Structure 1
Amino acid sequence: MRTASVAKLIGLCLVAGVLVAGMAIPVVGAAGLVSNRVSDHVAATTVSMMDSPPPLMTTITDKDGVPFAYLYDQYRVLTPPDKVAQVMKDALVSAEDRRFYEHNGVDWLATLRAALRNQSDGSVSQGASTLTQQYVKNHLVHVLEREDAGGQKKAQEQTLARKLREARIAVQVESQLTKDEILSRYLDVVPFGGTIYGIAAASQAYFATTPDRLTVPQAALLAGMVNSPTFLDPESRPDKAIERRNIIIDRMVENAKLSREQAEVHKRTPLGLAEPVRPLPTGCVGSGVEFGFYCSFVINHLTRNGFSLNELKVGGYTIQTTLDRSLTQQAKLAAETQVPKTTEGIANTAAVVRPGKQRHEVVALVANRDYGLHKEQFQTQFDLPSAVENKFGAGSVYKVFTAASALEKGGLGIESVIESPGSYASRVFRGGAPGCPGTGEPFTYWYCLRNHDGSYPPRMPLKEALATSPNTAFVILEERVGLDSVVDMAYRLGMRDTLATNIAGVPPDPKSKQKELRVTQADFYKKAGNASFTLGPAPTSTLELANVAATLMSGGVWCPPTPIVKVTDRNGKDTGFTDAPCEQVVEEPLANALAVGLSGDDQDRGTAAAAAKDYGWTRPALGKTGTTEEYKSAAFLGATPDYAGAVQVFNDSTSPRGICVKAGPPRLCGEGDIYGGTLPARTWFDFMMKAHANLPEKPLPPVEPRYLRP
């Protein structure tokens, strides 16, 4: 005891003397001032260490709480002391600091030996750092100064001043934490190579196990890595790793933690590394081809609503989402069945939203593409408002907005008979197809259009028009209610971020030389008086289309499409994250009437009838197909009381050609022949049949008489 006290005194005097000599302070007052500043810095740093937890991995789970994605800069999971095997603690103490349980943060005997050796060498070549000092250094480098290269360098510089600072902080730490707490914090913060930090991450990455189940050879190998994880990487340098592991095992014998006989058995044990040695994947690419788009949407949704990406990577959150794994897998399979993932230039995307008056939960977002293969093109497919991927539009699906506006204006019901002539020359709108037959006026003064073919009667009920989709009928309705009203209705029902992009599908660019790229879609169509809006030629989000169907099936209540159930912090406390409030955007009787008005698309002459029949669909549902004029895209929107979904098939190549689906697999071609009732509807019925397999059939809502035939 007397020897230790003398050594401690000598060590203190030696270090203090070196510092004073190095400062070359001319007066005692100045020395006192500097000393106070150093003390203040040490105290402040200690407080910061106590109050600054290390970066933690954030986990994203499905609706059942099963993880499917992880976000981190440092792969780390905090582990309480009682969840770390005793052999791991013994191995670490034996390897790094045999007197750990005896000193108060600084091993003065070892410090004295190191100081004498360094004085002899004329450098700081020998450390003698205790585990507590190592914890201080690692916390400074990997936590407090993580984003400051200068601060990290300073925390690692080989100077006596840094050593003294580290020692003083270590003594402070020892006064505030127990030995087990210090050991636990050390094991949580220390790096084990690459992005692997802490014992839990290392146990998983190197041995596919947990800290409480580590064996002696595993613990010794990990304990041996802490000071040189790259040099002792067991995967790239197994011989060096085994050599170091066996040295640690011998030290455990010297430290009375193992018998010699046990040690010899453990030293003969093979490395037994996980195959492959890998940390958990980080980011959405690591979530797999099925869930990557959904993962990306989750991150985008959170960053739009108050979280930063860096916060998500270091915060240790648990994000429970509304993802339905089974439905997602079914939807992806359906998308790939209709348009194989290897199909050049043709994308097939689907989104599914659960209707409700309190929330619209996004349960699936998929594409026939695998997330990551076409990342530049597809990463933003569901990441509104950054871009809308289908640049060619949803076609006649937009007639839903015209019908809603007409019902709201009054004097019209879903059984009311409307005009549907074979061709029409509008006296309100300009543009359209060249020539206005029979008008006697130059075509530039009119918006001229024809129906797809001559099979339509000149008059029909609105419900039939929604099912068979005559173009002229909806342009006539658009004249009646006004284009502004139709555009506003599209926004109200759910096309909010879509309409905020320009006609190229990206945020407006005020510097663009093309004026149509400087304004939003909403303003472009309103200012241009372009009646083609009801025919859906503009870039459209698959997710927002699905949410439109959810709004109609929710009695006219729009809610932001959300992937979030709850977000809890690293301590398991609910962060209170909430989405924007829902809105009653149209009155419930109107929404109910339109839902029923759209229920004929899968029946009789409806444009999706053939697809519905092929899949044996008989449930009540709303539906609407759409096809763009040059067959570069097609869409289907549909919903039951249980699920609302949308599918869009579109050309995603750099060649603006049509899509052919007849006489062979889907392909780009000169003259397209795709329709919303083909690939899009077939994709929808495919996965929706499976999604509803075990659900009771539910009727559509009743319609008030005023919305049938006023």
Structure 2
Amino acid sequence: MVKTQTRSSKPVNKKKKKPNTKKGLGKKILLSFLAVLSILFLIVVSVTAYFISTAPSITQEALIGTIPSTIYDKNGEIITKLGGNDRILIDPSDIPENVADAVLSIEDKRFYDHNGVDFVRIGGAFITNLAKGKLSQGGSTITQQLIKLSAFSTSKEDQTIKRKIQEAWLAIQAEKQYTKEDILALYLNKVYLANNIYGFGTAAQYYFGKDVNKLDIAEAALLAGMVQAPNHYDPYVNPEAALQRRNTVLGTMLSNQKITQEEFNIASALPITYNLVDHKNDKSAAELSIDSYVQAVAAEISEKTSLNPYTDGLSIYTNLDMNVQNKLLDILNTTNYIDWANNDVQAAVTVVDPNNGAIVAMVGGRNINVQLGLNRATVASRSVGSTSKPLVDYGPAFEYKDYSTGQSVSDSPINYSDGTPLYNWDFRYFGSTSIRTALAASRNTPALRTLRDVGLDNAYAFLSKLKIDVTNNGVPGLVESNAIGFEASPLQMAAAYSAFANGGTYYKPFTINKIITRSGEEASYVGEGTRAMKDSTAYMITDILRGVPTTYATSADIPYLYHAGKSGTTNYTEDQLATVTGGKTVPFAAPDAWYIGYTKRYVVSTWVGYDTPNELNHYLDQTESTYAQLIYKYIMSYLAQNGDNTPWEKPDSVERYGSELYLKGKRPVYTEIERDVTTRRRDEDSDDDKEKTTISFTTKSFSFSSREATTRETTTKKEEDN
């Protein structure tokens, strides 16, 4: 028997394979990632669905119409309406080719290719914005813009993801319901084109005096360019910007092959005034009289709300006193009060209630003939000259250094830190003088010395509490030359001086006291006050400035009225002076003149100058530099007729000794000789004041009775005793 060899039944030890842990880990990560993506996708879908479900419904009436807002004065009287004017509508079957080509080229060149949302454009805008690092390009189609104008606010604050999703959804639905021609016509009839004009049909008549179907290429391009920013590209107000924008539109029309190179060359070479209708004399006096104030109202609504005063049908109640407004216009636009040198001299005035910040009246220029024109009352582009000194030099000195009004300061030659000399306006020096005299007489060299003692940071902090943010070469902060001036608007200066008038509280100036929407929702507004300085600081500044109109700015003086103020002028460089005078030697020339004065009830801030102060003969001479003071005198005299003429009460934090004021407990101890001299000076000042109260006073618009004079004399004595 042959024995065969067999395998042993004994198990053989085999090496086990280890599981691939890396592969398993990668799979888990992938699955987790997909799970997170799925969850995120579900969240996005759910949120999107919710946003869509809460989107407003769009009616044909909403797509077609705009509802005007009504503006009321402080007495509840209607003064004007904004928006919703009668429109000349374009029929969808009769859209002019030039207009369609211009608008679609600049706003939505793929209009006929998308379904309401242009994802290609959105992608392109995303890449462009990413490359530039900011939002410089939008992706909204004309359909989306129509939806936004019809159902949503145009405020930047409302450009939320929710709003964008709803806007896109409604745009897609609109494209299903209306033809492209319908949508384009609705859009062309609805867009705002400045000067309270809505729609291309109305704009064609307003700007060019012709039917919309007769607009040529350049005219259509101008209107199409205005859609993006109507007021900025208004050819009457900003002709250079409007010209550049028009030519940009023409360029897109050329690149989109809607016009030829020859047509582009001809149209782009035309001046912006080409065929423009002159509207200087066709606005009613009533409309133009409140133009500056209405601009401030519209700006305030944009700042405080997401409402559109031109389309939302609001009832807007303001603080405007039409009697004061009309009086200002009479002072500025006639020769009944001021013998104006010429019609090119401009002026701006703001009247504010210092006790709550309410803007009582505002005029942004003389001889206003264009609606929504330049509002010089709110534009901070001119130096305020010496009216800055209470704010940047002496106010901070009282606030932070505990100066008295009798603090000694040197009025002598001084240089800026870079070696440039600083001169007084008269090129003379008083030597050692008091803060009272230095401020009232508007000496420059003591102002710089005081600013140095206070410190630039302290002075900047003081200004910041008054909402005046000074920049130099684009950098926030002060430099030494700010000791005698910085740039601010008449409105800003009125608000800042209000803190002196009311004892140290800054109130943000405001025009609107109430808004009621179409649905009946009501919002009320009151003054927003914050402590800006100590009551001692406000009182000391006021006590000094009471002496300005009686001695240094006499054109502003109103006898028997308790008031204070500060004048200011600015200077030309030697080269500028040679240009504006044509090389002639003149005794006085200034680009700007200011006067800011106040009582306990009103602050009046006035500016006078030329819009182009560096052109030949566009300087203020000595007489013209007093216009600002005269404006103040006549309007404050009018305001004071029904006012409470009482002096400021000295706060407990201040004590008077002689003619000067000190913080309580800070008064120096005098010797017998010094006390005798001070007492005699106080008695002399008192006698002068008593003699002054016997002088009679009468003007065209303002007078006091003998009983009022007696009251003033009695009150004056009480104040001196304080």
Change over 3 Å in CA distance of 1:572–1:158 after alignment to 2: closer
Task: Identify which of 366, 369, 376 aligns with 1:369.
Answer: 366
Mapped partners of 2:605, 2:504: distance in 1: 18
After TM superposition, give the deviation of residue 371 of structure 1 in Å. 3.6
Question: Quick one: which amino acid aligns to residue 561 of structure 2?
Answer: R
How many pairs were matched up? 419
Map Cα deviations across residues 368-416 of structure 1 (whole Å, 9 max, x no partner).
42444496xx524344xxx5243xx111111112110110123411233
Q: Does 1:388 align with 2:380?
A: yes
The answer to whether structure 1 residue 325 and structure 2 residue 322 are counterparts is yes
1:166-315 to structure 2, matched below 5 A, reads: 288-308=287-307, 311-315=308-312
Partner AA of 2:357 in structure 1: H
For residue 641 of structure 1, give the secondary structure of its aligned residue in structure 2.
coil
In the TM superposition, what whole-angstrom CA distance separates every residue of 1:517-563 from its partner, at most 9, and x where no partner exists?
xx14x43xx3xxx3221211x33201111111211112111111100
Distance 1:62 1:140, change over 3 A: same
Give the corresponding residue for 2:606: 647
What CA deviation, in whole Å up to 9, does each residue of 1:581-613 have, x standing for no partner? 42101112221222222111012xx3212442x
For residue 67 of structure 1, the aligned residue among 73, 78, 99 is 78
Cα pair 1:332 1:367 within 8 Å, conserved: no
Preserved CA contact (<8 Å) 2:56 2:151:
no
Q: How does 1:80-119 map to 2 (within 5 A)?
A: none
Match for residue 470 of structure 1 among 443, 456, 462:
443
Distance change in 2, residues 1:627/1:430 (3 Å): same
2 CA distance for matches of 1:608 and 1:329? 25
Identify if the C-alpha distance between structure 1 residues 641 and 145 changes in structure 2 by more than 3 Å, giving closer, same or farther.
closer
Structure 1 residues 75 and 315, CA gap change in structure 2 (3 angstroms): farther
Query: CA contact under 8 A between 1:285 and 1:371: conserved in structure 2?
Result: no
Distance 2:531 2:152 in 1: 49
Which of 558, 579, 592 lines up with 2:506 in the alignment? 558
Is 1:398 matched with 2:424? Answer: no
Task: From 568, 580, 586, give the equivalent of 1:626.
Answer: 568
CA shift, 1:468, in A, is 1.2
One-letter amino acid matched to 1:348: A
- Cα contact 2:365–2:375 (8 A) shared by 1: no
TM-score normalised over the length of structure 2: 0.51
Q: What does residue 701 of structure 1 align with? A: 649
Contact 1:420-1:459 at 8 Å conserved across structures: yes
Letter in 1 for 2:614: S
- How far 1:51 sits from its partner (Å)? 12
Residue 217 of structure 2: aligned partner: none
**Is the counterpart of residue 668 in structure 1 residue 618 in structure 2?**
yes
After superposition, the Cα gap between the structure-2 partners of 1:617 and 1:292, relative to the gap in structure 1 and judged at 3 Å, is farther
For the 8 Å contact 2:364–2:374, the answer to whether it is kept is: no
The question of whether the paired residues in 1 share the 8 Å contact of 2:388 and 2:484 is answered with yes
Counterpart amino acid of residue 430 in structure 1? S
Q: d(CA) in 1 for partners of 2:303 and 2:283?
A: 17
Corresponding position of 2:538:
591
The amino acid across from 1:608 in the alignment is A
Equivalent-residue separation in structure 2 for 1:420 and 1:158 (angstroms): 76
> What is the CA distance between 1:483 and its match in structure 2?
2.3
C-alpha distance 371-535 of structure 1, shift in aligned 2 (>3 A) = same
Aligned 1:302-451 pairs, distance under 5 A: 302-308=301-307, 311-336=308-333, 337=335, 343=342, 345-356=344-355, 359-373=356-370, 378-383=373-378, 387-390=379-382, 393-401=383-391, 402-421=393-412, 424-426=413-415, 429-431=416-418, 446-451=419-424
CA–CA distance in structure 1, aligned partners of residues 596 and 147 of structure 2: 55
Distance 1:289 1:342 in 2: 23
Which residue is equivalent to 2:596?
637
Distance 1:285 1:323 in 2: 19
**Judging changes above 3 Å, is the alpha-carbon distance between structure 1 residues 158 and 648 closer, same or farther for their aligned structure 2 residues?**
closer
CA distance in structure 1 between the aligned counterparts of 2:176 and 2:359, rounded to whole angstroms: 48
Residues 598 and 494 from structure 1, CA distance in 2 versus in 1: closer, same or farther, beyond 3 angstroms? farther
Higher relative contact order (CA 8 A, sep 6+): 1
- Could you tell me which amino acid in structure 2 is paired with residue 705 of structure 1? V
Q: Give secondary structure in 2 for the equivalent of 1:289.
A: helix
TM-aligned CA deviation for residue 475 of structure 1: 1.1
Work out whether residues 401 and 454 of structure 2, in 8 Å CA contact, stay in contact via their aligned partners in 1: no
Give SS of 1:623's match. Answer: strand
The more displaced of 617-626 and 450-459 is 450-459
Extract unaligned runs of 5+ from structure 2.
1-52, 88-145, 154-166, 182-197, 203-281, 573-589, 667-722
Q: Secondary structure at the match of 1:549?
A: helix
Deviations 1:91-120, CA, capped at 9 Å, x for gaps:
xxxxxxxxxxxxxxxxxxxxxxxxxxxxxx
Moved more, 58-67 or 406-415: 406-415
Cross-structure match for 2:268: none
State the Cα distance separating 1:343 from its structure 2 match.
Answer: 3.2
Aligned AA (1:589): S
Q: Do the aligned partners of 2:384 and 2:568 also contact (CA within 8 Å) in 1?
A: yes
Cα offset for 1:151? 7.5
**Matched residue type, 1:379:** L
Shift of 1:480: 0.8
Closer, same or farther in 2 for the Cα pair 1:157/1:50, shift >3 Å?
Answer: closer
Q: 1:654 to 1:374 in 2, by over 3 A?
A: farther
- In structure 2, do the counterparts of structure 1 residues 151 and 326 end up closer, same or farther at CA, with 3 Å as the change threshold? farther
RMSD of aligned Cα (Å): 4.2
Counterpart in the other structure of 1:680: 628
Given that 1:360 and 1:559 are in contact with CA atoms closer than 8 Å, whether structure 2 keeps it comes out as: yes
Q: Distance in 1 between matches of 2:79 and 2:428?
A: 50
**CA contact 1:542–1:647 (8 Å) conserved in 2:** yes
Quote the Cα distance in structure 2 between the aligned partners of 1:404 and 1:701: 18
Sequence identity, in percent? 19
The AA in structure 2 aligned to 1:531 is E
8 Å contact kept, 1:474–1:534: yes
Change beyond 3 A, Cα 1:412–1:570: same
Residue 327 of structure 2: SS of its match in structure 1?
Answer: helix
* Residue number in structure 1 paired with 2:481: 532
Partner letter of residue 485 of structure 1?
A: N
Structure 1 counterpart of 2:67, from 56, 59, 70:
56
Once residues 447 and 706 of structure 1 are traced to their aligned partners in structure 2, the CA distance between those partners, rounded to angstroms, is: 39
Q: CA distance change for structure 1 residues 325 and 482 in 2, over 3 Å: closer, same or farther?
A: same
Taking the aligned partners of 2:346 and 2:56, their CA distance within structure 1 comes to: 56
Pick aligned residue for 2:468 from 483, 487, 495: 495
- Structure 1 residues 67 and 150: CA distance shift in structure 2, 3 A: farther
- Normalised by the length of structure 1, the TM-score is 0.52
Amino acid at match of 1:414: T
Secondary structure of the structure 2 residue equivalent to 1:618:
coil
Provide structure 1 residue ranges, at least 5 long, that are not aligned to the other structure.
Answer: 1-42, 77-138, 160-190, 196-282, 432-445, 504-515, 658-666
Question: In structure 2, do the counterparts of structure 1 residues 484 and 144 end up closer, same or farther at CA, with 3 Å as the change threshold?
Answer: closer
Q: In structure 1, give the amino acid aligned to 2:79.
A: F
**Shift of residue 705, structure 1, vs aligned partner:** 3.3
